[in-house]
Amino acid sequence: MTTRIPIVENILSANDRMAARNRDLLDQAGVYSINIMASPGAGKTSLILKTLEALNGRLKLGVIEGDLATSIDAEKAAAAGLPAVQINTGGDCHLDAAMLADALPTLPLEDIDLVLVENVGNLICPANFQIGTHLNVLVASIPEGDDKPYKYPGMYRGVQVLIINKIDLLPYVPFNMDYFKRGVEILNPGVVTFAVSSKTGEGMDEWADWLVERVKNNGG
Amino acid sequence: MTTRIPIVENILSANDRMAARNRDLLDQAGVYSINIMASPGAGKTSLILKTLEALNGRLKLGVIEGDLATSIDAEKAAAAGLPAVQINTGGDCHLDAAMLADALPTLPLEDIDLVLVENVGNLICPANFQIGTHLNVLVASIPEGDDKPYKYPGMYRGVQVLIINKIDLLPYVPFNMDYFKRGVEILNPGVVTFAVSSKTGEGMDEWADWLVERVKNNGG
């Protein structure tokens, strides 16, 4: 008598299964989505508001804001006229797929082309949790310093787009762009990169144009 | 027959037991210690180097640097002439007491008055782990924005000292100091606060003088 040994080809974690379900929901609704990650205060919310301006009506946006506490960011997005949801994680240092699964149905997905998910401010934990979005975006910030790729390799390795924000502060802080970019290149060769200022608007058009193309190529 | 029910008055977690052991080791060596926490890039390492300058030999320092990866920070401290140890946490988003227990014996504690422990750059996870130091210090940074106390209440609640760094950038970024301080006051009324610039040195003397008094009052 032989014993049959079951072969399990692909065991997904509970989080990854939920992330796949989120992706299915988004794809069925024809909605593209990005997961925006950064340190606290790198300018994620300001970037979202400036992106809205630069898109100038070319895409219909929805926003999901993740924070430990408060609804400050969702209120800012709502004040700008965007459908917005706030997720408060309590103590959790990142969003997970289950949180996104709770938030997505509260947005009017049929009227949305692109959902911008703002993750909890943290360069470590969010990199370890796929949530089901189509694209991972990291917002780096000039005053954070040029050594962050070296110190937070997991985050810099796991994104498809890098936005270098607050370039208006370059004259006032020590920041060696060559050293920074060398670190990025080691971890994530050829990653799509934009240099912007959410304050002055510099570089926002290039980013917004790229985003429109990306969403349209996705069939949105 | 009666069953005796054991009463356990104070069950400490494994981390807290280890933290208490670290504190004993430090106290026996007559060494004061502080746990410096902040976002990535708030300027912890620069603050340590400027503190060394402002102390001007009044205290003998040792430095323990925590990062996911690299020895960049410990090399900077060593280059400034300080006994320095680097802890690489791998993926861990905070230092814990066991990591400090491994690092402390590698420093020449008999020649040190004050150990500065630089935690991993993160406003969430490090607040949840006591490591055995005498004082928790949070370095906030002007370009991070004025809403951080509201968004990261656990961190702002759990410290005895708040250092507001990069005040030289106040003219270039939106930051409402009243709004920031109201948030701090709600969470941590009366917390000892310093406003400094690691770049220009402004405010460093007040902080260094306070630190000297604190260490001496501890019997150091």
- The CATH number assigned to the domain holding B161 equals 3.40.50.300
CA gap A174, A3 in Å, rounded: 66
Residues of A in contact with B88 (CB under 8 A): none
CA gap A118, A65 in Å, rounded: 5
Give helix A72-79 / helix A44-55 axis angle, nearest 10°: 10
pLDDT value at residue B4: 74
CB B142 within 8 A of CB B50: no
Q: Does residue B4 form part of some domain?
A: no
Taking only residues 196 to 215 of chain A, the set having a beta carbon closer than 8 angstroms to any beta carbon of chain B reads: 199
Q: Does residue A93 form part of some domain?
A: yes
CA gap B212, B220 in Å, rounded: 10
Q: Does residue A4 form part of some domain?
A: no
CB A159 within 8 A of CB B77: no
Chain centroid offset of residue A119 CA: 7
State the total domains in chain A: 1
Answer whether B145 touches A (CB < 8 Å).
yes
Residues near A170 by beta carbon (within 8 Å), at least 6 away in sequence:
A142
CB A67 within 8 A of CB A86: yes
Q: What ipTM goes with this model?
A: 0.91
List the pLDDT tens digit at each of the 220 positions of chain B: 567 766 555 557 899 999 999 999 999 999 999 999 999 999 999 999 999 999 999 999 999 999 999 999 999 999 999 999 999 999 999 999 999 999 999 999 999 999 999 999 999 999 999 999 999 999 999 999 999 999 999 999 999 999 999 999 999 999 999 999 999 999 999 999 999 999 999 999 999 999 999 999 986 4
pLDDT value at residue A4: 74
- Split chain A (220 residues) into runs of 10 and give each run's mean pLDDT: 61 88 98 98 98 98 97 96 96 96 97 98 96 98 98 97 98 98 98 98 98 86
**Cβ separation of B173 and A169 shorter than 8 Å?**
yes
Best of A125, A148, A157, A172 to substitute, by most chain B Cβ atoms within 10 angstroms, is A172
- Other CB atoms within 10 A of residue B131 CB: 27
Q: Does residue A92 form part of some domain?
A: yes
Q: Does residue B220 form part of some domain?
A: no
Polymer length of chain B: 220
Q: Does residue A1 form part of some domain?
A: no
pLDDT value at residue B218: 84
AA identity, residue B6? P
CA gap B29, B59 in Å, rounded: 15
CB B101 within 8 A of CB B18: yes
Residue A65, phi then psi, degrees to nearest 5: -105, 130
Domain housing B64: 14-215
R_g of chain A, CA atoms, integer Å: 18
CA gap B152, B162 in Å, rounded: 14
**Cβ separation of B93 and A93 shorter than 8 Å?**
yes
Q: Does residue A3 form part of some domain?
A: no
Cα–Cα distance list, B158 to A88, B41, B100 (Å): 20, 20, 19
Q: Does residue B33 form part of some domain?
A: yes
